[in-house]
Amino acid sequence: MSSTSANAFVPSDEIRARFSSAMSEMYRDEVPQYGTLIELVADINQRTLQAEPELLARMQRSGELARLGVERHGAIRVGTAAELSMLRRLFAIMGMEPVGYYDLSVAGVPVHSTAFRPVSDAALLANPFRVFTSLLRLDLIADEALRAQAAAILARRNIFTERALALIAQSEANGGLTDAEADEFVGEALETFRWHSESTVDGATYDALHKAHRLIADVVCFKGPHINHLTPRTLDIDAAQAAMPARGMDAKDVVEGPPRRACPILLRQTSFKALKETVRFAGDATGAGSHTARFGEIEQRGVALTRKGRALYDQLLAQVRDMGSAGSAAPDYGSRLAQVFEAFPDTHEQLRRQDLAFYRFTLSDEGAALAAGEAAAAAASDLDALIARGLAQAEPIVYEDFLPVSAAGIFQSNLGGEEQKQYAAHAAQQAFEADLGARVHDEIALYEQAQQRSIDQLRSALRTQAAQAVA
Ligand code: OOG
Ligand code: NI
């Protein structure tokens, strides 16, 4: 490739931004209630920022304010290894790589999943769009004949357009896509995620698969992996949850994840429940059936936790669940959650000093103005000392990933009812990666590296300052 044509390629961040906005537009058309949710979240974010000038200032500093409005994730479910690995290639064109492994079988959902997302600091800041992607585990269907039938149905479909496949291959060969090709690619990729109200199977087949698990019917009976929700980021999920019914939304009973805190950690999520939609089954010209799959979700993101912090989170959450159910049948869930999580430190100072959460360290204005000798000494001193002296500051690194227990709660509430299937829980990460055709990134390692990079940059800036002043 000559450098001139390479220069004409559209950056992957830009393709991702175009794709995520096209997806959002398509979903708003398909599911008007999602548009209402977006408006609600925008209102609440604006009010929160007005009420919390400190939050506003911090988000401005970190560059996060600019991405707040485009902040979202989506989710899809596929049926075969071939579909999953082609999706990996499709998302790679948009700078999205598989991060994390989520075993949902523990929660009675016969899938395992990863999230395709940008990984570098700059790419995340440019546009953080992620797609939670689940692969159906046919091996968890007990009925052998039904399992074979599902596999045969899946083997017959092709979820990608010819042109999308050609553009993926072309981008891989050439190292990118031109402006016109990128637009074409976005349009073609979108086709894969579109809703199809016509099922590829007859009503009896749908019913049989549905009976095995609603999710199996959702994956197997349609032409493609329709996007099943999109998720804007809210700065106050409790306010958004409370405001949903007034805007006509049937909100999920509980907010998933940690309780409300002064220092938000990880991820809190809630959704409006999936809508019942009309579908037509193959060979059935007269009657129309229905299918429930698509919903809208909101998320509030907090600081990413270290392995130690995550272990504490998992332990406390398990404790809350051991005390009773997490569903609508448990009106005391919120208070149990709040009570147990009192054991999780709730100032950024404590979270950082106890090595529970990740931070991005930057020089303060004072730090950047240090004279040569002082800069040299500062470069060698430890971070706590620099922070105590006001020479450096620690900004929370936002958690960009998902939580398996929360994801299970989101799945469950949108599968209708309190359906609980028992599967022998066994994570199958290696099998998943073989199907994907790649290893998934270890999400915690990514945060560790981001924190370390910020420390290296801070020290190197101080050293440069020391050297320059001497010269
Ligand atoms: C995915 C549910 C998981 C989340 O935000 O945790 C998810 C699905 O229902 O396909 O999106
Ligand atoms: Ni989601």
pLDDT on residue 468: 81
In ligand 1, the atom with minimum distance to the C-alpha of 406 is 6
> If we measure between CA atoms, which residue out of 174, 123, 160 comes closest to residue 7?
174
Considering 6-15, 180-189, 198-207, the range whose residues carry the highest mean pLDDT is 180-189
Q: Check whether 441 has a pLDDT greater than 80.
A: yes
Give the integer Cα–Cα distance in Å for 115 and 87: 11
Q: Is the pTM of this model over 0.95?
A: no
**Strand intervals (E) in 364-471:** 392-396
pLDDT level of residue 329 (50, 70, 90 thresholds)? low
Averaged over 190-206, what is the pLDDT? 94
The answer to whether the CB of 136 is under 6 A from ligand 1 is: no
Which parts of 302-403 fold into alpha helices (H)? 307-322, 333-340, 348-353, 365-368, 372-380, 383-388
Could you tell me which residue, 94 or 4, shows the higher pLDDT?
94
Mean per-residue pLDDT of the chain: 91
The string of DSSP letters for 235-282 reads S-HHHHHHHTGGGT--B-SS-BSSPP-SS-BSEEEEEEEEEEEEEB-T
Task: Look at 329 and 69; give whichever has higher pLDDT.
Answer: 69
Mean local confidence (pLDDT), 126-138? 96
Say what the pLDDT of residue 232 is.
Answer: 93
- At residue 431, the pLDDT reads 94
269 lines ligand 1 (CB under 6 A): yes
209-213-217 Cα angle (round to 5): 45
pLDDT given for residue 4 in this prediction: 46
Ligand nearest to the CA of 132: 1
205 Cβ closer than 6 Å to some ligand 1 atom: no
Q: Is the pLDDT of residue 284 over 90?
A: no
DSSP helix/strand/coil, 83? helix
Q: Model confidence over 350-384: pLDDT tens digits?
A: 999 999 999 999 999 999 999 888 999 999 899 99
Any atom of ligand 1 within 6 Å of the Cβ of 130: no
Q: Note the pLDDT of residue 2.
A: 42
What is the atom index within ligand 1 of the atom nearest the CA of 407?
6
Q: Which of 411, 413, 443 to mutate to test the pocket of ligand 1 (most atoms within 8 A of CB)?
A: 411
Is residue 188 a contact partner of residue 163, using CB atoms and an 8 Å limit? yes
Average pLDDT score over residue span 445-464: 96
Class of residue 232 by CB neighbours under 10 A (exposed 0-12, middle 13-18, buried 19+): buried
Mutate to test the pocket of ligand 1, among 103, 109, 132, 134 (most ligand atoms within 8 A of CB): 132
DSSP run (H or E) holding 122: helix 121-126
Atom 3 in ligand 1: residue holding the nearest Cα: 407
pLDDT classification of 255: cutoffs 50, 70, 90: very high
Ligand minimally distant from the alpha carbon of residue 78: 1
CA of 335 to the centre of ligand 1 (A): 25
CB 268 within 8 Å of CB 117: no
Note whether 254 and 234 are within 8 A (CB): no
Q: pLDDT confidence of 286, banded at 50, 70, 90? A: low
pLDDT value at residue 417: 54
Residue 62's pLDDT is 83
Structure confidence at residue 7 as a pLDDT band (50, 70, 90): low
Q: Confirm or reject: Cβ of 134 under 6 Å from ligand 1.
A: yes
Q: Which of 37-41, 274-278, 445-449 has the lowest mean pLDDT?
A: 274-278
Pocket of ligand 1 contains residue 406 by CB under 6 Å: yes
Please state the atom number of ligand 1 nearest to the C-alpha of residue 403. 6
CA-based end-to-end distance of the chain: 43
pLDDT of residue 422: 64
Check if 271 has its Cβ closer than 6 Å to any atom of ligand 1.
no
Protein residue with its CA nearest to atom 9 in ligand 1:
411
Does 241 contact ligand 1 (Cβ within 6 A)? Answer: no
With residue 15 as reference, give the H or E element that holds it: helix 12-30
Helix (H) or strand (E) holding 75: strand 72-78
CA neighbor of 302 nearest in space, from 436, 203, 403: 403
Query: What's the average model confidence in pLDDT over 108-127?
Result: 94
pLDDT of residue 3 exceeding 60: no
What's the rounded mean pLDDT across residues 249-269? 93
Average pLDDT over residues 455-469: 90
- Return the residue whose CA atom lies nearest to atom 7 of ligand 1: 407
Distance separating alpha carbons of residues 265 and 356, to the nearest angstrom: 10
Check residue 425 and give its pLDDT: 54
How big is the CA angle at 292 (ends 128 and 107), to the nearest 5 degrees? 65
Q: Is 357 in the pocket of ligand 1 (CB under 6 A)?
A: no
Sign of CA dihedral 20, 22, 23, 28: positive
In sequence order, the β-bridge partners of residue 392 are 363
Q: What is the pLDDT of residue 76?
A: 97
**Cβ distance 100 to 402 under 8 Å?**
yes
* C-beta of residue 270 within 8 angstroms of C-beta of residue 232: no
CB distance 402 to ligand 1 below 6 Å: yes
Which ligand has an atom closest to residue 76 CA?
1
Nearest-CA residue for atom 1 of ligand 1: 75
Q: What is the mean pLDDT of residues 134-138?
A: 95
Residue carrying structure tokens 């304010």? 65
Is the CB of 411 inside a 6 Å radius of any atom of ligand 1? Answer: yes
pLDDT mean over 157-166 = 98
Check residue 150 and give left, alpha or beta (phi > 0: left; psi -120 to 50: alpha): alpha
DSSP secondary structure, 407-419, as one string: HHHHHHHHSSTT-
Which ligand ends up closest to the CA of 406? 1
- Between CA 471 and CA 467 the distance in angstroms is 6
Once rounded to an integer, what is the mean pLDDT over residues 239-256? Answer: 91
For ligand 2, a single-atom ion, the residues with CB < 5 A are 75, 231, 297
Instruction: Give the Cα separation of 395 and 455 in Å (integer).
Output: 12
CA distances from 422 to 117, 127, 146, 213, 262 (A): 30, 38, 18, 11, 37
Kindly state if the Cβ of 78 falls inside 6 Å of ligand 1. no
Q: Is the model's pLDDT at 418 over the cut of 60?
A: no
Per mean pLDDT, which range of 35-44, 181-190, 416-425 is the poorest? 416-425
